[in-house]
A and B are shown apart, each in its own frame.
Chain A
Amino acid sequence: AQSVTQLDSHVSVSEGTPVLLRCNYSSSYSPSLFWYVQHPNKGLQLLLKYTSAATLVKGINGFEAEFKKSETSFHLTKPSAHMSDAAEYFCVVSDGYGGATNKLIFGTGTLLAVQP
């Protein structure tokens, strides 16, 4: 069975410093992986997705993630944090080829705080 583990429940960074949100996955075959963001009182928004193409995936708002099969990791990074990045981030693996919405398995989330 597929699963994801988000290694940090809370991350705090200063504005302008790099962001690293860690995610490890477990999969018996080549997975589809996603990062979603949830701002307060808003729905989930897709940041980026990996579906077996390039291992470095670029998303919206300057975020990117690198698929590392040897480490079973899909960490989310951003070179410079903005105040508007404060939100909860979810790492997601698909329990089916291609990322069908009913097959998404969500991690427990990482709450990102950005200090001025």
Chain B
Amino acid sequence: EAGVTQSPTHLIKTRGQQATLRCSPISGHTSVYWYQQALGLGLQFLLWYDEGEERNRGNFPPRFSGRQFPNYSSELNVNALELEDSALYLCASDTQGLMNTEAFFGQGTRLTVV
């Protein structure tokens, strides 16, 4: 069974540009989560999508946004890129956004802003 897949694996952008990151969840999973892993900061929750709707977002500015498509795949968009947006962005999926479900993580997209 295929796991959570993310693309691209690496992305280099210049400050001020927009970045689009993509995630395909495990088949049957309806929830997709985005996390940012910045150097020395651990993983921080960004966004949660379930059944096409944004359910919750972390403490990030509005230039971080995304969407979930009818096939449950998801995009994360980062507008007006800043140098501190450089990080590994991880996507996770599970069957529902409730308790005691295990989330499965993708390998991540390494975003570098220069």
In the complex, identify which listed stretch (B13-21, B62-70, B79-87, B98-106) lies at the interface while the others stay far away. Answer: B98-106
Q: Closest Cβ of chain B: how far from A82's Cβ, in Å?
A: 22
* Residues on the B chain within 8 Å of A56, using CB: none
Interface size class, chain A? 20 to 34
A98 and B98 in contact, given A43-B90, A45-B105, A108-B41 (Cβ under 8 angstroms): yes
B72 within 8 A of A: no
A101 B90 Cβ-Cβ under 8 A: no
Give bound CA distance, A49 to B94, whole Å.
Answer: 16
Number of residues on chain B facing chain A (CB within 8 A)? 29
Counting chain A CB atoms within 10 Å of each CB, the highest count among B94, B101, B103 belongs to: B103
CB-based nearest A residue for B102: A46
Report whether A99 and B42 are in contact in the complex, using a CB–CB cutoff of 8 Å: no
User: In the complex, A106→B54 CA distance in Å?
Assistant: 22
- B97 within 8 Å of A by Cβ? yes
**Do the beta carbons of B45 and A98 come within 8 Å of each other?**
no
* Interchain CB contact under 8 A, B4 and A101: no
- Given A90-B42, A102-B55, A106-B44: A44 and B101 within 8 A (CB)? no
Whether B42 contacts A109 by the Cβ 8 Å rule is: yes
Q: Hey, which bits of chain A sit against chain B, CB under 8 A?
A: 36, 41-46, 49, 51, 90, 96-109
